[in-house]
Structure 1
């Protein structure tokens, strides 16, 4: 194999000379497009094989279950063996069958290693997209993240976020005075959307141990890049969850990886299949984020390749950054189809030997119109290309083979057991219990069940008085008055005001008052 490029196809009468993707431009991103059944999956497979052979790790999603065959070698007994060999001879390829190093992942933990992120890592913007929140609801979610950050309450899994939402609901008046209006109806809407997410199996995405990005960027003993395959056939039943997860992963790579400039080959190649799901009904802020990542992540050594049926599925500002392109056939049955076909043809550098628009319409299965970056990063002229056959198995492997690959994985056992460490849920629960005990000890004949008393809430004036109390009263004086009141209401008020003042004055108080204000740790 040529160590500087990936052989994609070509050759044969009337077809292009060998078409190659130069590795030094592999991080300049790319596009694989075409109608259903025209060969996009095979193109994705041979690109993944090529990058792996060059020592470049790959991440891709398997939306139909077909790509698991990369883990097994092609075979002379396969029904397509003879056509493959004929194609190889036509394009001048010495086809050698081979399996490739694969790591299987699965958000549901059924067909691969579990893959998780913490709620804090996902962030309010992507969570809002995932939960389909309105702007006011997204504002409430931002408040929850802000409070968690200020009070050192880690948001790791969904029960941590649910605990924060319960706290905000119980204390909406006080929190509104600090952060702006927080509507309990918005909180309720978020809680309902979280319930839907749980019912769809999305709760398994959040928690620990969270994915270590370094585990996506490994090589086998022979120096070949590992091909990370996300089982997405079941995940596609929740397309928003699928798109949000992949966008989170892309964003994490952008945020965490160091700048490397223009390397000789990418550090990682990321294939985003069914790319239209990323942009369907996406808010402007999210599209802008994707544009930013696509523009800048190549300097981190990451190449991003969008796989979709129609180039029109990808926003124009992003499409213009995709320098390596494989365009399978587009069908033009309607006026819109014809317009999309013309637009797709216009994005290529013309070849005087044929009309690009006609070629895109006419190429058959396993053929494509291609253009790759040449010297100095200039797009090559468009060419009609016969795509090479894969070296690995075409089609899925069986369950026993998949299980054997997972059992032999170097990551076996690392992500299998969920970790539930001390975080927002546990800390809010502990504060609530401690505050209940403190209030019970300070009270005279109280019930001792103060942590869940809905009448013990501050209004905005109380909030302001608490700030003045903290500013004007010496710490020694505040400590000395914690238990002097003789009535139940006075003792609770004094204890409460003392704790609340500490909450907004410093972080050292750890907001014990939250326990008195409501049932912080009830899951709803």
Structure 2
């Protein structure tokens, strides 16, 4: 059907064919189930189907299996017979193998186009969660962002933030008077967290050129939506980085996309695999933000599909907004598992033909209990469903095949070269250099002034010494001249001559001054 996606059906013992109505594709969804029950294949066939309907898709490839979307399935594959047999069983008459338009992305730039954002776009709330900061440290980080805005300091990469924090630490006393207490200890704690992030390779997330969302919302020449695949197998070693990045991407979609009301099909579909990582130990402020985004982003034509092992991983307020559901098998080995199983079964619309709680325990690999929104947005009755087989290759493609797709991508070369334009680091460095130059000039001027004063003092001392030399010479001359003119006359002439000079006048002033003081 043109207005729906065929998800699966069944033969004997199964219910009616299950379809996801495209006009409700932005009402979000859930794919849940224990490891090995078929969640990844369900994600794959939904991504294929949205793409075929012209809807761009984003998903994260946690295990490396989803790169197969870029390659058609093969009749030589071991799964061929079972796939063809299943297609016949569920009534999928036009089943065929097909490749889909894929764009590979990688935060580390190794398995796809580099993907970045700026520190300013990430914002203090997400960054604080990402770094695991305390409430006090988050407050200091908020001050740093405020200072950056007020002083025109662009925060693009980690060194921008690190240099700004140094400046805040040096000016903590002045900033405290305006914004509240800023301790050097808090600044130091944030710097240490940034250092850990840098050592883990997280610095590659921040910088330019930053991701343009329009590059993830493309269609190919045939009108099929491009599937953006984020390589997350290495990224999963830093789960906070993974969760924070995906939440940032959701927030950017929410902020930038216009309202579209109730479109005939989604403008964009976002699959959040390993969704429990988003909510593990998350503060209430962050959970509230996710709930707000999930509630409001559907009006912008974006559908969010959470993929996780257990529905219990999703907060109840968010779980209630997920209208399209595919529940693979759950195992109830512990009391907690049994409680989660009961809770999961209670979120479905009852089917009189079977007990939902039993069906969730019994469905096999590639089977699920499904429920999709029907006309007027009403949840459909739960059904046991055989999930349709994928048209693309099941499993990862070879590294050389991936490299060829990246090289032929319409985005090749756009994000590969890092751009380092003037930002907070350069501006603060320039200010520091100018301040140092001014300080050096002031020191030099002071040294020159001191040198001049010393020269003047030396000149004064030289004048007194000259007077003493003249006195000695006059005595000698007077001795010699006693024969011709007398001692008293000669000395008198010399003294009068000396007193006419500058040093003489100073001596006179000194003597007179002393006399007046004596009176």
Q: TM-score range by the shorter chain?
A: 0.7 to 0.9
Look up the match of 1:159: 159
Superposition pairs for residues 289-368 of structure 1, below 5 Å?
289-368=289-368
Q: CA deviation at 1:12?
A: 0.6
Superposition pairs for residues 397-412 of structure 1, below 5 Å?
397-412=397-412
Are residue 77 (structure 1) and residue 76 (structure 2) matched?
Answer: yes
SS of aligned partner of 1:431:
helix
Q: Is the 1:332–1:338 Cα contact (8 Å) retained in structure 2?
A: yes
Structure in which a larger fraction of residues adopt helix: 2
Q: Deviations 1:391-437 (Å, cap 9, x if unpaired)?
A: 00000000011001001100000000000000000001111112222
Structure 1 ranges of 4+ moved more than 6 A: none
Look up the match of 1:245: 245
Distance 1:446 1:430, change over 3 A: farther
Look up the match of 2:258: 258
Superposition pairs for residues 373-412 of structure 1, below 5 Å?
373-412=373-412
Distance 1:97 1:186 in 2: 57
Distance 2:301 2:430 in 1: 45
Which consecutive residues of structure 1, in runs of 5 or more, have no partner in the other structure?
449-482, 488-524
Look up the match of 1:57: 56
Are residue 273 (structure 1) and residue 277 (structure 2) matched?
Answer: no
Distance 1:444 1:391 in 2: 77
Q: Is the 1:105–1:229 Cα contact (8 Å) retained in structure 2?
A: yes
What TM-score, normalized to structure 1? 0.85
Q: Which has the larger radius of gyration?
A: 2
Distance 1:446 1:77 in 2: 87
Look up the match of 1:433: 433
Distance 1:116 1:446, change over 3 A: farther
Distance 1:447 1:58 in 2: 69
Superposition pairs for residues 85-484 of structure 1, below 5 Å?
85-94=84-93, 95-443=95-443, 445=445
Across the two proteins, how many residue pairs are aligned to each other?
450
Distance 1:157 1:446, change over 3 A: farther
Q: CA deviation at 1:447?
A: 8.3
SS of aligned partner of 1:368:
strand
Q: Is the 1:440–1:447 Cα contact (8 Å) retained in structure 2?
A: no
SS of aligned partner of 1:7:
strand
Look up the match of 1:5: 4
Aligned alpha-carbon RMSD (Å): 1.5
Q: Deviations 1:167-206 (Å, cap 9, x if unpaired)?
A: 1111211111121100111111111111110111100000
Distance 1:253 1:220 in 2: 21
Q: CA deviation at 1:444?
A: 5.5
Which consecutive residues of structure 2, in runs of 5 or more, have no partner in the other structure?
454-519
